[in-house]
Structure 1
Amino acid sequence: MKYLVDYHVHTDNSFDGKVSMAEQCEKAIEIGLKEIVFTEHYDLNPNDKSKGFFNYEKYSREIEECRQKYGDKLIIKKGLELGEPHLYTAEHDAFIKDRDFDFLLGSVHFLGDILLDADFGLPEKELYLKYFSEILELAKTGEFHTLGHIDVLKRYVPPHFKKFLAINYEEIIREILTTTIKRGKGIEINTSGFRQGLGEPLPAVEILEWFYELGGEVITIGSDAHHSKDLGQDLERGINVLRDVGFKAISTFSQGKINFIDI
C-alpha cells in the first residue's frame, strides 16, 4: 500500500510514552508513513496513573513545531485516546470543545477502579462478559470516532485462561458492532497483537469479519506505538488482513470528518 498511515501513536505526552513527538515524526518519515495521529492518553478515572498527566498546551505546541519541521514530508494530526469516555461524557465534551482534534479513539482500560492487567479473581467467561459489557456501554454513549482494540483484555488475562475465541462471545460482540455502526462510528485494527505474542490483531479476525458482514465501513489502523521501534509495525500485515476480510478502504479523519483511503 502506497499511502500508509498510523492512527494510534503515543509520545511522552502520554504517561506511558517513551519517546518525543519529534522522534516519532522522524521515524515515521524514515519508514515511509504518509500520515500520523498522536492519540495521547486522556484519562479521568481517579485510579488511572494517566489522570492529570496530559498537558494540552505542551502537546499542541509540539504538534505545531513538528508540522513546521516535518510537514512537507508527513501529515501530522491531533488526536486523543479517551479512557472510558462513556463514564465521563460531560468532562470530555468540555475538554474537547474548541480544541481542534482530528480524531478520537475510545478505549476501555479499567473495569470500575481496576486496571485490566489486574487479577480480578473471576472465572474466564464472567470476566470477558464483564469487559465486553463495558465496551457495549462505550459503544452506546461514548464520544469517539473508532473503538480502540475491542478485545484487548485477551492480552492481560491470567495464563491459565484458554486462548480467546471470539465465537464464545459472539452475541455481545455483534451487539457492540451493530451499535457502533448505527451511530455512524467505527473500530480500529490495532496491530500491536502481532508483536506482543498474540499472533493476531486486535480485534481478532472473526470480529473484523462480523463487522464487515454487518455493513461496517469505518475502520482505522494503528500500531499503538509507545516506542519508535514499534511505530508502523505490521501495518502492511494489518492491511492484508483487512483485504482478506473484504474491506476496500481504511478511514482517516480531519477535524472529525471522515475520508476513505483505498487499500
Structure 2
Amino acid sequence: MKQKYNLADWLDGKVDDEAVKNTKGFDTLKKIKMYSAHFQKPEFKKDEVYKAIKKKKASRRKTKFNWSIAASTLLIIGVSTLIYTLSNKDFTAKINSQETVLLPDDSKVILAQNSKFQFNNWFWSFDRTTTLFGKAYFDVAKGKTFTVKTDLGTVQVLGTRFDVESRDSIFRVVCYEGSVKVTSLKNEIILEKDEFVAFQNGRKVEQSNVYIDEPDWISTANVFKDTPLSEVILQLEKDYTIDIDISKLNQNKRFTGSLPSDSLSLALDILVKTYQINFKIINRNKFIFVEDETR
C-alpha cells in the first residue's frame, strides 16, 4: 500500500526517482511521466460552470413556455375557425325559382335561380361581408361597409341598391341607387346611380348607363336590348340548365325584347317567331336551332 502512495507522490512530483526506482516497470512509468508532463489539465471554473447549467435550465423553461403559448394560440385559432364556420348561413335558389334573404341589419337579397349566397350571422355586427355564386339583387341598409365577394370580383358599398352577376368568366354590376366600388383583378371602378359595368376574365368590356329601377329578372323575365344571339342563348342555358346549339344560324343575329325565365317552351317560341327559325329536340336537355328551310 505504501508503494502505491509513493507512486502517486512521485507522479505528482512530491518525491524523487530514488524513492521508487525499485518499483516493477519503473522505466516504463518514467516514460509515461515524461510524456504526460506536456499535457495540461483543463482549468475548472466553478462560477462559469454554474452559470452555464443555470442558463440551460432557463432555456428549457423558456422552450416549454413557448410551446405552451403556441399550443394555446392554435387552440384559439381552431375554436374561432370552428365557430365562424358553424355560424355561416347558406342559401340556394334552385332552377326556375328565386330566394329572398333578409339579413340581420334588414338588408334584403334576392337570389336569381341557380345561385348561391352566404353570410356569417355570428360576426355580422362587425363585418358585413357576403359571398355570392351566381346572380343577386341587393337592397342594402345603411351602416358599415357592405361587401359582396365573388370568384371574379368584389363590390363594396355603404347603403344602396345594386345587382351583381358572377358566372363563368363574366362579372356584371348595375347600380340602381347610391354608389358602389367594383373591383375585378387590378381594375377598380366607382359606379354611381344608373350605371352599369361588365368584365370578362378581369378585363372591362362594357360600361354604360341604365335607366330602370330594379333588375327585370326579379319579375321572372330577362330583358335584352340589341343583344347578340349568342348571349341570349347563354342566358337561356343558365336559366333552364340546357344545351342549345346555334352553330347552324347566322351568328350576327341580335335580339331586343324579353324572354321568360320560368317557361322554356314560351321562350323558345318567342325566338322561333322573332327569327323565323326552327329547333330540333335532341333529348330532354339538348336543342339545336336551324334555319327554317320552308321560307
Normalization by structure 1: what TM-score? 0.25
Normalization by structure 2: what TM-score? 0.23
Largest Rg, 1 or 2: 2
Name whichever structure is richer in strand by fraction.
2
